[in-house]
Copies of this chain bind each other. A is one copy, B any other.
Amino acid sequence: VKKGLKFPEVTAGRIMATDIVSVSASWTIGKTLKYLRQKKEILPENIYEVYILDSKRRPIGTLNLNTIVRSTSATVVKNIMNTQFKTIPIDTDQEEIALGFKQSNLIAAPVVDKLGKIVGQITSEDVIDIIEEETEEDLLRLSGVQSDDTYSAVLKTIQSRFGWLLINLFTAIAASFVIGIFESSLRQLVALAILMPIVASMGGNAGTQTLTVAVRALALREVTRANALRVIGKEFAVGTINGIIFAVIIGSVAAYWFQMPLLGIIIGAAMIINLMVACLSGILIPLILDKTGIDPAIASTVVLTTITDIFGFFVFLGLGSIYLL
């Protein structure tokens, strides 16, 4: 299980290319072009930007190839170089890097060590891979699988999925214990046993919808401390209103099916409560996990379905035991 839940963070230092091109601030564009021509065999194949460094190899400016080809030969580098550039500290997490590139529409950016010295660069090509990997990871983690699963061998796949299923088995058994509390009610009114999976299943699905949106919104920094309360309020409203609509539908079906109007009211009430709990859990679980430093994509689903299952069974069977027997 431990292995399945461990995902090391990838930082700028691991992604960056170390072969960068630097020119002097005092050079002209003519001299820069001559340099690029003469050194073409040893320079990296794809250059987007060249960097201008101070005596301690700290970047003081960047020069895009687009600027180079549009400037006259006599232009001096320091007069046209871009000094409003972003640097990436070497220990920056890849998720932060991808966000920075998207927000600032960057093509390339220098990576610097703790002293501000240039140690490499990251380009938009690297960011394509990062973005795909991050979104992919969220998708797979929410379903309890690890990456690269398609090409893994059978035994490795079994191992990678086993931990998640084992956790789910424990939570399913816990839910069954809750059902077991109401053993005598179930024996007296078998309609409760027939209908109970509906309440739990609708809670699980409604909660998963909220959860998926919340996990991605957190990854994209769309949910912040400033708007968290508003988002929570919105999910509560969505859960309540959807709960009322589905309560009317399932209440009517149940009342007609078993010819017991009160049973319809009970399952309707349980549906409203469980959908409210589900939508609130769907937003609160990832928020809390994120705050405690756990990746919400890893653990959210299992916590959510445990809550919606146990709560769904407990509320429905509890209300049924009180009012129907």
Contact = CB atoms under 8 A, between A and B. Distances in A.
Interface of A: 33, 36-37, 40, 43, 45-47, 64-66, 68-72, 101-102, 105, 107, 124-125, 127-128, 131-132, 135-136, 138-140, 142-145, 149-151, 154, 157-158, 161-162, 164-166, 168-169, 172-173, 175-176, 179-180, 183, 186-187, 190, 193-198, 200-202, 205-206, 208-209, 211-213, 216-217, 222-223, 231, 234, 237-238, 241-242, 245-246, 249-250, 253, 305, 309, 313
Contacts of A187: 187, 190
Contact of A216 (B136, B172, B180, B197): B136
B217 A150 contact: yes
Nearest to A171: B201
A50 B94 CA distance: 32
A39 B49 CA distance: 21
A139 B102 contact: no
Contacts of A213: 140, 143, 145, 149-150
Contacts of A71: 37
A245 B196 CA distance: 28
A253 B241 CA distance: 40
A46 B209 contact: no
A269 to B, nearest CB: 16
* 10 interchain residue pairs of minimum CB distance: A193-B193, A143-B212, A135-B135, A40-B70, A172-B198, A65-B65, A150-B217, A139-B139, A149-B213, A172-B201
Nearest to A141: B212
Contact of A139 (B70, B142, B176): B142
Nearest to A188: B187
A225 to B, nearest CB: 15
A165 B216 contact: no
Given A40-B70, A140-B212, 12 more contacts: A37-B72, A45-B66, A65-B69, A102-B128, A135-B139, A139-B216, A143-B212, A145-B212, A168-B201, A169-B198, A180-B194, A197-B313
Contacts of A169: 198, 202, 246, 249-250
A33 B205 CA distance: 59
Contacts of A208: 143-144
